[in-house]
């Protein structure tokens, strides 16, 4: 009888170990299925073009990635300043109100043209689009329009070369940037290098020489890499493109 009970106890214990092992495997497998998307995070500003002095207005941004709402942003802040007085800017933290939409309320103290810039940090990415708000009746409509044109350009033409590299060998890169068909100088240009599914992103700061931005990076593995080119200059320009580099 004792021998039968001992056998039963051993069988039960073994079954429990096998069940725990199976559960652990399920958890690991489930975790491995979660792969963070490497598509760029997009930020769409929704800010009124005009406002009255001391009027309460809502500043809003919709954050998406690959067409899906981003509800888990690390930080969303709106920075507001009267044009020509960036040193007196005000930074305000926004809150999530619905799917991918973050908002904050503010007022404008003077009749002037203000710049509104949102700082979006989400899923290891950062973007900083800007827009303008004309408050009241500034000195001239022409002045407001000129300021608006200064902050809204048609976009940048960014060219990264080359598109291939050799594993474990330093690879030089050149970046040319043009805005409105004019070469952009004095910008901060960086490369964000990563493979699909990788949590770690490497950054390469490029140096400017005669209007061309250059730098090098060594790839430690063969295969396709994503290289996102970030171009910023002051608070007016923030552009980026994504390229695929084939490493052999």
The pLDDT of residue 56 is above 90? yes
Q: Helix or strand or coil: residue 34?
A: coil
Position 140 confidence tier, pLDDT thresholds 50, 70, 90: very low
Between 155 and 69, the higher pLDDT residue: 69
Question: In this predicted structure, which of 30-39, 54-63, 64-73, 156-165 has the lowest mean pLDDT?
Answer: 30-39
Q: Which domains does the chain have, with CATH numbers?
A: 41-151 (2.60.40.10), 156-247 (2.60.40.10)
Helix (H, G, I), strand (E, B) or coil at 35: coil
Between 11-15, 92-96, 174-178, the lowest mean confidence (pLDDT) is in 11-15
Residue 79's pLDDT band (cuts 50, 70, 90): very high
Q: Strand pairing of 50-51 and 57-65?
A: unpaired
Instruction: Provide the Cα torsion 104, 107, 110, 112; round to 10°.
Output: 40
Q: Are 150 and 236 in contact (CB under 8 A)?
A: yes
What whole-number distance in Å separates Cα of residue 195 and Cα of residue 182?
A: 33
Confidence label for 154 from pLDDT (cuts 50, 70 and 90) = very low
Mean pLDDT value of segment 66-71: 94
For 180-216, write each residue's pLDDT tens digit.
788 888 888 999 898 887 777 888 999 998 789 999 9
Has residue 113 got a pLDDT over 80?
yes
215, with CB counted inside 10 A (0-12, 13-18, 19+), is middle
More confident residue, 225 or 83: 225
Is residue 155's pLDDT more than 50? Answer: yes
> Which whole number is the average pLDDT over 32-47?
77
| pLDDT higher at 228 or 153 | 228
**pLDDT for 36:** 66
Of 54-58, 134-138, 195-199, which one has max mean pLDDT? 54-58
């Amino acid at each position: 009888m004792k021998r039968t009970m001992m056998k039963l106890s051993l069988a039960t214990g073994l079954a429990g170990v096998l069940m725990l092992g199976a559960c652990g495997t399920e958890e690991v497998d489930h975790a491995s299925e979660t792969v963070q998307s490497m598509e760029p995070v997009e930020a769409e500003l929704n800010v009124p073009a005009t406002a009255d002095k001391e009027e309460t207005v809502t500043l809003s941004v919709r954050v998406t990635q690959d067409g899906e709402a981003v509800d888990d942003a690390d930080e969303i802040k709106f920075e507001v300043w009267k044009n020509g007085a960036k040193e007196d800017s005000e930074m305000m933290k926004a809150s999530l109100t619905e799917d991918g939409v973050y908002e904050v309320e503010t007022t404008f103290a003077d009749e002037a043209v203000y710049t509104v810039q949102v700082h979006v940090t989400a899923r290891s990415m950062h973007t900083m689009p800007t827009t303008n708000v004309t408050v009241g009746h500034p000195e001239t409509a022409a002045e407001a329009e000129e300021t608006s044109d200064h902050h809204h350009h048609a976009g940048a033409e960014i060219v990264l070369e080359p598109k291939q590299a050799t594993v474990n060998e330093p690879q030089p890169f050149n970046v040319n940037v043009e805005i409105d068909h004019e070469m952009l100088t004095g910008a901060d240009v960086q490369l964000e290098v990563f493979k699909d599914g990788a949590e770690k992103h490497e950054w390469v700061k490029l140096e400017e020489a005669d209007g061309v931005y250059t730098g090098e990076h060594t790839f430690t593995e063969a295969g396709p890499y994503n290289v996102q080119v970030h171009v910023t200059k002051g608070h007016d320009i923030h552009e980026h493109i994504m390229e695929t580099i084939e490493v052999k």
